[in-house]
A and B are shown apart, each in its own frame.
Chain A
Amino acid sequence: MTELRTDQALIAEWIKPGSRVLDLGCGDGTMMAHLQQKCDVWGYGLEIDEENIVKCIASGVNVIQTDLDAGLSEFDEESFDYVIMTQTLQAIRYPDRLLNDMLRIGREGIVTFPNMGHWKCRLQIALKGMMPKSRTLPYEWYNTPNIHMCTLKDFESLCRKVNIEILQCTTVDYAHRSNLGMRLFPNLLGEIAIYRFRRYQAN
């Protein structure tokens, strides 16, 4: 089994064993396979790429070829405990709609995305005057699939606007778990943001 990325490993710790999970943009199925084997999780991965779909089948992950931009109308309300989307939110045409859809079909959502507010990104724009490139963002502006980049602050502001309550948040970098710096200044020092959230519960 391929090793989990740091953001995936953290998610695996956040998820309650025995849950029903839907993984949007599940890639080669590494995380779903891990969740199934280690956390007694059951569910489906949605993926658009045929090569990845074959890899999911090889690792015994239920995978449904799906274009996330077409929406998730095939899934019923509250049919999953968690709807997860790692490193995909920034490539979605209407991220705000998809977040809402995630919380329609799942009790909780978990997303991870590259943080555009990371100091290296800020420096590249500020000093070079060019679109940032990094380990997490290796593309040129004209060929990037990442059409909706955001910072932690941007994401949290959207959540407030669309009535989403953030339950848990952390940042990591590509190789490491969180450190003190990231905890103090997540929007400046965190490379990858991880959020767990649900619909705001009005009491």
Chain B
Amino acid sequence: MSRTIPSDSVGLVNPQALHFERSLRLESGSELSNFDLVYETYGKLNKNCSNAVLVCHALSGDHHVAGYHNMEDKKPGWWDNCIGPGKPVDTNRFFVVCPNNLGGCSGSTGPLTTNPATGKPYGPDFPIVTVCDWVKSQSLLADALGINCWAAVIGGSLGGMQSLQWAIDYPDRIKNAFVIAAAPKLSTQNIAFNEVARQAIRSDPHFNNGYYYENDSKPSLGLMLARMLGHITYLSDDMLDEKFGRELSDGKIKFGYDVEFQVESYLRYQGRSFVDRFDANSYMLITKVLDYFDPARSTNGNLAAAFAPANARFYVISFSSDWRFAPIRSREIVRALLDADKDVSYIKVHSIQGHDSFLMPIPRYHEVLRTAFNRIAGETAP
């Protein structure tokens, strides 16, 4: 045993999988004839199934939100600081569910899955999915788990977008929607960044139009570049400066193109470690999910009208240093919710960590979550 597990952790957890032997019609018009969802749960579902919380992951996240898979794990799940016994989303009181989304690469049906038509992995032929499709698949998971209504759906970034979509698509199945560091749709600049990321992957000589699984090599360099670019947009200028400044790895300028500044080695490290755990086709696909997200598309661009069916109470949270989905974007969501007369609270939390703030244990941020979930726990008591 290499480590002990902290007492406020959900501890050792096992991912579970559910096979859905039914077709799923996608927004694009394509269809999955059947599909799998891999997910984790923490805490216990209460008698009247009223304490379930759905956690929606962002671009590079997965179902492993909290706890450890084995004693050798160096790091816990991606949102372990927020979810666990006594934590803001308290697993002593809530039953927390987090699936890996369709199109991902952590076990749920996606580009790595065998395409029944060819007997080979889908790769680039995996149909384009959308946030609506994800929410639909999550609702089927809820059915399977006996959850008729979520006490809360919570997510940051792309996860927050799923939370919004839940409130719109299933107004009677969600009591509270937490929309953190999100946007009502991507800005042109956001899409531009995604396109550079995709082009980095596509121009990798090993990409082979996405059919690289049978080859010896994958488009690692392209994916690494995409991640490096993404990572810059997740952090703030101040944060990078504070963390690395212009520090040189060897203490002196070498007048060459090797890694010199510490930020360079940091980005390369981030890029390389990402390649080990993520699939390039999934990355391409999920950046498209982001690009296409626009709940107001069906209401002629009127976001307030899109929110009209929602019944949930909304908590919208932004971060002062987030420039990828800046506070002003959260404010657009708030404004539309106000126009639609919805119950909503909004706070802009001061932070220096940029877009990544939503993953950080910033005291005020966690206090807001803790306070809101406290209230929800009171309302959902059996």
Contacts and interface: CB of A to CB of B under 8 A. Distances in A.
Contacts of B349: 50
A99 B339 CA distance: 21
Interface stretch (A59-67, A83-91, A162-170, A178-186): A59-67
A13 interface: no
A50 B348 CA distance: 9
Contact of A65 (B335, B338, B347, B371): B347
A26 B243 CA distance: 38
Given A62-B345, A64-B346, A74 B368 contact: no
Contact of A75 (B338, B346, B375): B338
A65 B343 CA distance: 14
A35 to B, nearest CB: 15
Which of under 10, 10 to 19, 20 to 34, or 35 or more describes the interface residues of A?
A: 10 to 19
B372 A62 contact: no
B338 A57 contact: no
Contacts, number: 45
B367 A65 contact: no
A76 B335 CA distance: 10
B347 A60 contact: no
Contact of A63 (B335, B345, B350, B367): B345
Interface in A22-57: 44, 50, 53-54, 56-57
A54 B367 contact: yes
Interface centre among B345, B350, B368, B375, by most A CB within 10 Å? B345
Interface string B30-53: 000000000000000000000000
Interface residues of B, number: 21
Interface in B326-382: 331, 334-335, 338-339, 343-350, 364, 367-368, 371-372, 374-375
Nearest to B378: A60
A1 interface: no
A54 B338 contact: no
Interface of A: 44, 50, 53-54, 56-58, 60-65, 74-76
Given A58-B374, A62-B345, A76-B339, 19 more contacts: A44-B338, A50-B349, A50-B350, A53-B368, A54-B364, A54-B368, A56-B345, A57-B315, A58-B371, A60-B375, A61-B345, A62-B343, A62-B344, A63-B345, A63-B346, A64-B338, A64-B345, A65-B347, A74-B331
19 contacts: A44-B344, A50-B347, A50-B364, A53-B347, A56-B345, A57-B315, A57-B345, A57-B368, A57-B371, A57-B372, A57-B375, A58-B374, A60-B375, A61-B345, A62-B344, A63-B347, A65-B348, A74-B335, A76-B339
